[in-house]
Amino acid sequence: MKFSNLIWAASTVCLVRALPKPNTIEKRSSGFYWLGCSQSGAEWASNTIPGTLGSDYFWPNTSAIQVLKDGGANIFRVPFLMERLMPASMTGKVDYAYMNALRSTVTFITGQLGAFALIDPHNYGRYQGNIITSTSDFEAFWKTVAGEFQLYDKVIFDTNNEYHDMDQTLVFNLNQAAIKGIRSAGATTQYIFVEGNAWSGAWTWASVNDNLKSLTDPSNKIVYEMHQYLDSDCSGTSPTCVNSTIGQDRVQSATQWLRSNNKKGFIGEFAGGVNSVCQTAVDGLLSHLSSNSDVWLGATWWAAGPKWGNYMFSIEPADGSAYSYYFPILEKYFVNGQTTPSTIPSSSIHPTGTTSIPSYPANTMPVSSTSNTNHQYHMPTLSTTSSSAEAKPTIPAVSSPPSTVYATGKSPANEYPGSSRTTSPPVETQVAQHYQQCGGTGWTGPTSCASPCTCTLQNPYYWQCV
pLDDT of 421 above 60:
no
What local confidence, expressed as pLDDT, does residue 355 receive? 31
* CB contact at 8 A, 295 and 259: yes
The CA-atom distances, in angstroms, between 288 and each of 34, 205, 245, 342 are 15, 17, 10, 20
Q: Tell me the C-alpha distance between 459 and 437, whole Å.
A: 11
Beta-carbon contacts of residue 25 (< 8 Å; ≥ 6 apart): 33, 335, 341, 376, 377, 378, 379, 380
What local confidence, expressed as pLDDT, does residue 442 receive? 61
Helices (H), 294-398: 323-333
What single-letter DSSP state applies at residue 308?
A: -
Percent of the chain, pLDDT > 70?
70
Q: Tell me the C-alpha distance between 129 and 450, whole Å.
A: 33
pLDDT of 227 above 80:
yes
Considering only 16-20, 208-212, 253-257, which range has the smallest mean pLDDT? 16-20
What local confidence, expressed as pLDDT, does residue 452 receive? 66
Pick the residue with more confidence: 6 or 177?
A: 177
The chain-wide mean pLDDT, for the chain, equals 79
The CA-atom distances, in angstroms, between 455 and each of 355, 447, 465 are 46, 7, 5
* CB contact at 8 A, 44 and 85: no
What local confidence, expressed as pLDDT, does residue 31 receive? 86
- In 3D space, the residue among 4, 3, 39 whose CA is nearest the CA of residue 406 turns out to be 4
| Pairing between β-strand 222-229 and β-strand 192-195 as defined by DSSP bridges | parallel
Question: pLDDT category, 434, cuts 50, 70, 90?
Answer: low
Question: pLDDT category, 15, cuts 50, 70, 90?
Answer: very low
- In 3D space, the residue among 168, 119, 117 whose CA is nearest the CA of residue 145 turns out to be 119
Tell me what the mean pLDDT of segment 367-395 comes to: 37
What single-letter DSSP state applies at residue 3?
A: B
Q: Which helix (H) or strand (E) is 256 found in, with range?
A: helix 252-260
Tell me what the mean pLDDT of segment 366-394 comes to: 38
Domains of the chain: 13-390 (3.20.20.80)
What local confidence, expressed as pLDDT, does residue 396 receive? 30
What local confidence, expressed as pLDDT, does residue 358 receive? 35
pLDDT of 73 above 80:
yes
* CB contact at 8 A, 270 and 301: yes
What local confidence, expressed as pLDDT, does residue 281 receive? 98
Tell me what the mean pLDDT of segment 443-450 comes to: 76
User: Burial of 268 by CB count in 10 Å (0-12 exposed, 13-18 middle, 19+ buried)?
Assistant: buried
| Pairing between β-strand 4-6 and β-strand 406-408 as defined by DSSP bridges | antiparallel
What single-letter DSSP state applies at residue 365?
A: P
pLDDT of 379 above 50:
no
Q: Which residues are catalytic?
A: 162, 269
Residue 89's identity, in one-letter code, is S
Q: Give me Rg for the CA atoms of the chain.
A: 21
| Pairing between β-strand 462-465 and β-strand 437-439 as defined by DSSP bridges | antiparallel
Tell me what the mean pLDDT of segment 321-336 comes to: 94
Tell me what the mean pLDDT of segment 408-435 comes to: 41
What local confidence, expressed as pLDDT, does residue 342 receive? 33
Considering only 232-236, 284-288, 319-323, 332-336, which range has the smallest mean pLDDT? 332-336
Tell me what the mean pLDDT of segment 386-415 comes to: 31
- Give the tens place of pLDDT for each residue, 86-100: 999 999 999 999 999
The CA-atom distances, in angstroms, between 273 and each of 37, 190, 201, 245, 289 are 16, 34, 19, 14, 20
